[in-house]
Structures are given as structure tokens and as C-alpha cells.
Structure 1
Amino acid sequence: MTATTPRPDLGSILSALAAASSRPRYAFLVLGLIAEAARADGQAGPWVQVRGEEGAERVSLRDWLARQLLPLAARDRRRAGLRAKVAARLGSNDPDRVEAALAEEALAIGKANVSRAVSDLVRAGLVRRHYAGRITDHCNRGGRRLAVYRVDPPVLNAIRSRPTLV
């Protein structure tokens, strides 16, 4: 957000996203999920703790975001075309193999979409991004570094001020 907007509300957040993103609704969904994963200081990542059937699992933030948004694409008409391409590439019509490969491909596409949405959020001034690695934090990705996103506190408060997002 800009210096002229000291206390953003949802309307000003959406307005900033509309100006900075070609997919503002998707970017807003990503922002809401980042805010959900963020600690009190607004920082989310590089890892998210996920509770599953087999206990707790540590997942990278970008993978977690992509997994959370995966159901949105499950009924997309492009999924049928992707399924056909995956089956042709595998040279098999075995439903289990095709579904496993399709899930892997959809997750990879989802991670790329999340990265684009976060770039839009950074461009809009709502999120800051850096990368944390096993040796040292760094501003550039690579070297086994994972993304860490920080939502500015006024934006985090505006998003969290509602019990549910509409």
C-alpha cells in the first residue's frame, strides 16, 4: 500500500490488486491464505505445519498454497485437456497412473500460478518476499532457498478483521 493509505480496508486492498494484477481475485485468495498461515508478525513460511491422517507434516509455503488452491481447478474445463495430454505423454490409459501424473502436473501449474499471484501482491505493495535457506537468508531464490512472505501489519489486520472472507 502507499504512504497515503495508512489504514487499508478490503476495498483499498482490492483496488490496489485491480491496478497491479491481471487476476486480482486469484491474488486476493492467495493473500487470504498467506494471512491465514502468517504468524502474529505477518511473516509466513518457509514452512507450514500440516496435520494429516498420518500426523503432522512440514510443507513448504508455496506447496501449501498450491495445494489449498488445487480444488479450484478440479472442475476446470482445461483439466480434461490436460488429462488427455498426460495420458498421451505416458502412453497409458491406466487411470491410477494418469491421475497420479495429472495431480503432479496440476500441482506444478498451481505453484507457478501462486508465484505469479505473489509477484502481483508484491507489485501492489501488500506483501514482501524474501528467501530463507538452509545456510542463510537471501533476497534471491536458488541454492535450496524457500520463499518467505511478509504481509504488512495494516494489511494483515484488514484481512483478519473479518471472521470470514467474502
Structure 2
Amino acid sequence: MFQHDLFAAAPPAAPDAASPAPPLDLPAVLDRLSTTCERPRYSFMVLQLIAQASARSGWAGPWIEANGRRLPVRDWLSEALTPVARRDPRRLGLAARVRADLEKAGTLPLDPQAADRAIDAEVQHRIRLSGRTNVSRAVSELVRAGLVRRHYRGYRVDHENRGAQRHAVYAVTDEARRALQLGA
């Protein structure tokens, strides 16, 4: 016979409130992204771009000046990430679908060069729309991971909820900013 309490596992020690959590570093950021994000690489690229855009003020948005244009931050992020999908098979098939849609609607110009320009313009429009959606999803995951804060600014007053002509504003948290700078 043996004594059961002699072999019982010791209860885990409670974390000491006086000892701070270890600082977040780049591998810890990547680990957090891999556990909380559906597409951690894409989310990391979004995080890096937001950190770059917020370098001076701490906030990215609601507007970003780029190439002499003033864009909402989501549009700027979407356009910055567009080249990543250049060779994506889905994007290559998009031009064929756009051509078919324009022909079906009867809006495809007869001139081949004008038709190519119309197709390119519609492809860019669709890519921008899907890019904005992808950026919004990635930012939501970054907020859930505790790496980014988001609020909305615009018509009348700053507000936590979107809508009513408000535009997103993003900020990388201080701990994530330090981890990204240490990793640079």
C-alpha cells in the first residue's frame, strides 16, 4: 500500500504579481499570429505596413498620403499588398471572368485596346474591393491578438463603431512596436 498524497503533483505556483511578463519579441509576435490568425503571413505584412505608416504619430489613418494622393488607410494597405497576389491563379482567372461579364452585359468596347483598358480597370476595381475586405479581416485578427488597436474617426466625433462616414484609424500597440523595432 502507498500513500496517495505523497505522489500528488504539486499545485502550479501562482504567478508573482511583482514579476512582469517577459517582453514581446519578434518570435513571440509570430507565435501569437500563428495561433490567432487565419493567414498569419498576410497579417504580419499588414502589421508591418501599419507600423510603417504610424511611425511618426503612433496612428495610421484615417488618411495616408501616397504618391500625391490622399487615400483612406484601408485603401492604402490594400494597394500596398496588391503586388503580393500578382501571380495568384485566382487573379489570373479574374481577367477572363471580367471579360465574360462585360461581354454578357454588352459594355465591352469593340476596340481591342479600349476593351483591354476597360478589363484592366474592372479587374483593379474588384481587386481593390477584395483587398479592402482582406485588410479588414487581418486587422480584426491583429486586434484580437492584441497587437493593434482600432477606432473610427470622421463625421462629428471619434467613435468606437464604424459607419456614419467614419474612417478606420489603426495603432500598433507599444509592445508590438518594440518587438518589431527589435526585430528590424
Instruction: Settle same-fold status: TM greater than 0.5.
Output: yes
- Structure 1 residue aligned with 2:155, among 126, 131, 134? 134
Distance in 2 (CA, whole Å) between partners of 1:66 and 1:59 is 10
How many angstroms does 1:116 deviate by? 0.6
Confirm whether residue 68 of structure 1 aligns to residue 68 of structure 2.
Answer: no
Q: Is the 8 A contact 2:46 2:138 kept in 1?
A: yes
Q: Is the 8 A contact 1:35 1:160 kept in 2?
A: no
Distance in 1 (CA, whole Å) between partners of 2:157 and 2:22 is 33
Distance in 1 (CA, whole Å) between partners of 2:123 and 2:43 is 24
Output the TM-score relative to the length of structure 1: 0.88
After the TM superposition, which of the residue ranges 35-44 and 137-146 deviates more from structure 2?
Answer: 35-44
How many angstroms does 1:105 deviate by? 0.5
Percent identity of equivalent pairs: 46
After the TM superposition, which of the residue ranges 40-49 and 11-20 deviates more from structure 2?
Answer: 40-49
Confirm whether residue 82 of structure 1 aligns to residue 77 of structure 2.
Answer: no
- The code of the aligned residue for 1:116 comes to R
Deviations for 1:70-92, whole angstroms, at most 9, x for unmatched residues? 00111111112211111111113
Q: What's the secondary structure of 2:170's corresponding residue?
A: strand
Aligned to 1:147: 168
| Larger fraction in strand | 1
Distance in 2 (CA, whole Å) between partners of 1:155 and 1:113 is 21
Q: Is the 8 A contact 2:64 2:70 kept in 1?
A: yes
Output the TM-score relative to the length of structure 2: 0.80
Which runs of 5 or more structure 1 residues have no equivalent in the other structure?
none
Task: Could you list the structure 1 runs, at least 4 aligned residues long, displaced by more than 3 angstroms after superposition.
Answer: none
Equivalent runs, 1:5-154 vs 2, <5 Å = 5-40=21-56, 42-50=58-66, 52=67, 56-91=68-103, 92=108, 94-154=115-175
Count of aligned positions: 156
- The code of the aligned residue for 1:13 comes to V
Deviations for 1:44-69, whole angstroms, at most 9, x for unmatched residues? 1111111x2xxx22111100000000
Q: Is the 8 A contact 1:42 1:153 kept in 2?
A: no
The structure having more radius of gyration, on CA atoms, is 2
Distance in 1 (CA, whole Å) between partners of 2:101 and 2:21 is 51
How many angstroms does 1:11 deviate by? 0.6
- The code of the aligned residue for 1:60 comes to P
